[in-house]
Amino acid sequence: MNGYDEADVVVVGAGPAGSSIGHYLAQSGHRVVVLEKGTFPRDKICGDGLTPRAVAELIRMGVPTREEDGWIRNYGLRTSGAGHRIEIPWPELTTMPSYGLARSRMNLDATLAAHAKASGADIREGMSVTGAVRDERTGRIVGVNAKPVDARGRRTGDDVEIRARIVVDAGGVAARLATSAGIEKNVRRPMGVAVRTYFRSPRHDDPMMESFLELWDGKPGESNLQPGYGWIFALGDGTVNVGLGTLSPNAKPTGLDYRGLFAQWMKNVPEEWEFTPANQIGRLGSAALPMAFNRKPLYKDGLLLIGDAGGMVSPFNGEGIAYALQSGRIAADTIGQALARTSDYERVKVLRSYATTMRDDLGGYFTLGRGFAHLISSPKIMRACVRYGLPRPVLMRFVMKLLADAYDPHDGDWMDRVIAALAKAAPAA
């Protein structure tokens, strides 16, 4: 043991959630240490797509997203299925811009971590958190133990103990610290599994995000439809991110052969993308997407959960970056308020309100998403929705707003008002 260090807040993980909370806490003058087991730039299996909701969070953080800095904008979604193809622009809203972005996670996460560092966060790379430190008397979590590691995860030195007034798990889907603290995942909430790789492509600067709502296990129309959807997100640097995702409404393994399905899909994708083996860069990697608050409570015994650690991926579209950034921002605000209180009782009361705020913001919307997950897990229903829905532009505009969480809750159009009313009426659990 190398002795111990102290901070106001210690955060596990410097993904989007960890960098967001690091930035906001440091900006408001708190001493925040963020421990990241990787070393930037490091990869993360992801689709690399940022919807307008995520872009709005980047703007709030003050992250420059100019095109001259290598950010590529997209202006909507092109969707195909059941013989139809439709392009829907991102809506014009007051709460978010009418464009999305795409950037490899190799690049995005390093940029966000550097931004948090510039704001004053103490980001320590190559530090793997191994467990929580608890107060012997109260049982409250008062810090973490961590070991220094190299890029391959091998120990490079002695353990350190870092004590803090508040501990945050932003460690992604594994949520190692939360799990060790007894906060288990709820297997009745939806869970996604997705695979992705990169290709060089002449369409690397396509201005639309592309999605395919039909995945066949053989020739289109002559084989079986599989649950899930495929995406192509142009990165503007000569490459595109290509992946497919499936959704299980109750976290049960789908038993799908993802690699086989991906290989088949590549045969069915239009040739102009040039997805040949020679153009593929890197391996096909897979990872899980924890959805609809599948790990709760979001605050317990001095520990807050943000981002994937709290299961904040949307069941509607597999998007998690926007919610990781948002939860980091809200948790930082709550922690700032809590640290200014004069008694433990008050501090705990304020920290608990983080869970309530998140539930009020997203609980109803995620409940709708859980219903959606049940519905589309049947390929037959999914196909009926695609066949009936895609040719109807007004309906599709509504669906896009719903699926991308891109609506104005207060002063939007009739579609926004319907979605806001549905999200409010759905029980937030």
Ligand X SMILES: Cc1cc2nc3c(=O)[nH]c(=O)nc-3n(C[C@H](O)[C@H](O)[C@H](O)COP(=O)(O)OP(=O)(O)OC[C@H]3O[C@@H](n4cnc5c(N)ncnc54)[C@H](O)[C@@H]3O)c2cc1C
Q: What residues line the site for ligand X (CB under 6 A)? A: 12-18, 35-38, 44-49, 54, 128-129, 170-172, 174, 176, 194, 196, 243, 287, 289, 307-308, 313, 318-322, 324
Smallest distance, ligand X to C-beta of residue 195, A: 6
Please, what is the minimum distance in Å from the beta carbon of residue 319 to ligand X?
4
Peptide bond connecting 297 to the previous residue in cis, omega within 30 degrees of 0? yes
Helix 16-27 vs helix 321-339: crossing angle, to nearest 10: 30
Shortest distance in whole angstroms from residue 342 CB to ligand X: 32
- The alpha carbon torsion through 386, 387, 388, 391 (nearest 10 deg) reads 90
Please tell me what DSSP assigns to residue 277. Answer: G
CB of 310 to ligand X, least distance (A): 8
The least CB distance from residue 284 to ligand X, in Å, is 10
Instruction: Using the minimum distance from each CB to ligand X, give the nearer residue, 347 or 369.
Output: 369
> Burial letters for 305-318: b for 16+ Cβ neighbours within 10 Å, e otherwise?
bbbbbbbbbbbbbb
CA dist list (Å): 345 to 2, 21, 114, 338: 32, 23, 35, 10
Shortest Cβ distance from residue 84 to ligand X (Å)?
A: 23
Query: Is residue 211 within 8 Å of 231, Cβ to Cβ?
Result: yes
**From start to end of 291-407, where are the E strands?**
299-300, 303-305
Q: Which residue is nearest to ligand X (CB)?
A: 320
- Separation between Cα atoms, residue 239 and residue 72, nearest integer Å: 12
Cβ nearer to ligand X, comparing 258 with 398: 258
- Give the residue from 209, 179, 258, 168 showing the smallest Cα distance to 74: 209
In the structure encoding, which two tokens stand for residue 301, read together? 């015994």
What totals of helices (H) and strands (E) does the chain contain, helices first? 11, 20
Q: Could you give the CA distance from residue 201 to residue 109 in angstroms, rounded to a whole number?
A: 24
Nearest Cα residue to 241 out of 415, 103, 130, 113: 103
Nearer to ligand X (CB atom), residue 112 or residue 396 = 112
Q: Is the Cβ of residue 81 or residue 243 nearer to ligand X in the bound state? A: 243
Contact 213, 80 (CB under 8 A): yes
User: Which CB atom, from 232 or from 289, has the smaller least distance to ligand X?
Assistant: 289
Closest CB to ligand X among 184 and 411? 184
Q: How far is the CB of 340 from ligand X (least distance, A)?
A: 26
Q: CB of residue 420 vs ligand X: minimum separation in angstroms?
A: 22
CB closer to ligand X, 82 vs 316? 316
- The nearest distance, CB 249 to ligand X, in angstroms, is 18
Nearer to ligand X, 16 or 412 (CB): 16
Of 211 and 334, the one with the shorter C-beta distance to ligand X is 211
What six digits make up the tokens of 407? 């609506």
Q: Which is nearer to ligand X, 14 or 82 (CB)?
A: 14
- Interacting residues of 232 by C-beta distance below 8 A, sequence separation 6+: 203, 206, 209, 210, 211, 212, 240, 241, 242, 269, 273
CB of 254 to ligand X, least distance (A): 14
> Under DSSP, is residue 163 helix (H, G, I), strand (E, B) or coil?
strand
Tokens 């945050």, residue? 168
